Structure 1
Amino acid sequence: MLNFNEKLSIIESFPQLQRKNVSLGRVNFQFADSVSEKKNIVYHLHPNGNGFVYAGELAGYPTDAKGMVNIREFSAEELKQIIHESIQSLSPRTVEEEAVAGDAYEETWVNRDGQTLLLVEEEDMWNVYAGLNLDGTFNSYGEAIQYLDEEGFQLLS
């Protein structure tokens, strides 16, 4: 388990987050550019190492009623991953995402290295984009998901 200072160091490595000291030595980190009313990415990081990260828009994390995940037992890599995914889930769409998806149904997928792919339903097909570049076309949602999973990507939002 990481201690408070180790967690603090990892969290402070994300320049998008702003530190806000709260009571009892706890610290919040906010994402000012959030497209949601949710601004706290890290909530009540306590000197004992306990704390929470917002994952309400993410798949694969056990969240409480407020969409928070307890990070007490997280490794450094797990902490970096969930913070990155949380920021991504609350970030405005990029110009490339807007150009590719427009009003079509879309999903954002991310891997451990922070690379993102966009899955878009277009005319009864499922296309995977890396930025503006078409990465693959699939006949079904299931085929597209299988490809993304095999490539190490997870659904972000």
Structure 2
Amino acid sequence: MLTFNEVRSIFLSYPELKETQSGDRYSYSVRNSIHRGKLIAREIRCNQDGTFYGYISSKYMSTQTKLKYVDHTDSRGMIKIKTFSNLELHNVIRDAIFSMGHVAIDDSATVS
């Protein structure tokens, strides 16, 4: 399981994202979203044991992409990322960024 610091580093590795902090919670938005809503990740927060919890929005994802995350999606359309591996987190972030504007994503942040 990833730690909060690892998760934050992964989000910060994407230049397309802008980080904001409110208290002990972090959120990430897509700088050049074609949609009115720019927020893709919210409530990213560190637990006392160094682990984290948080959500990624599936609002603008295609139906096919949403199906990839159906087992992790709640009734709000938010994908719970707490149990995601490094690769799974990179994949969902890339899918969320793509859904926000079909922009090319810098592959230097990709993990194999």
Distance 2:53 2:78 in 1: 12
Task: Tell whether the 8 Å contact from 1:35 to 1:90 is kept in structure 2 after alignment.
Answer: yes
Instruction: Give the Å deviation of 1:93.
Output: 6.5
After superposition, the Cα gap between the structure-2 partners of 1:4 and 1:39, relative to the gap in structure 1 and judged at 3 Å, is same
Q: Any conservation in 2 of the 1:55–1:82 contact (CA below 8 Å)?
A: no
**1:2-47 deviation line (CA, Å, top 9, x unaligned):** 0100000011000000010013x11001113112222111111001
Alignment map for 1:1-157 (pairs within 5 Å): 1-23=1-23, 25-48=24-47, 49-56=52-59, 57=61, 58-59=65-66, 60-62=68-70, 63-92=73-102
The separation in 2 between residues aligned to 1:30 and 1:93, in whole angstroms, is 14
| Cα distance in 2 between the residues matched to 1:79 and 1:90 | 17
Q: Given the two structures, how large is their TM-score scaled by the length of structure 2?
A: 0.75
Q: Show structure 1 runs of 5+ residues with no match.
A: 95-112, 114-157
Q: CA deviation at 1:71?
A: 0.5
SS at match of 2:7: helix
With over 3 angstroms needed to count, the CA separation of the structure-2 counterparts of 1:69 and 1:19, relative to structure 1, is same
Higher relative contact order (CA 8 A, sep 6+): 2
SS in 1 for 2:37: coil
Higher strand share: 1
Structure 2: which amino acid aligns with 1:34? S
CA distance in 2, matches of 1:70, 1:88: 18
CA root-mean-square deviation: 2.0
Q: Is there any run of 5+ residues in structure 2 with no aligned partner, and where?
A: 105-109
The alignment partner of 1:15 has SS state of coil
- Larger Cα-atom Rg: 1
Alignment partners' CA distance in 2, 1:22 and 1:36: 23
- 1:155 maps to what in 2? none
SS of aligned partner of 2:79? strand
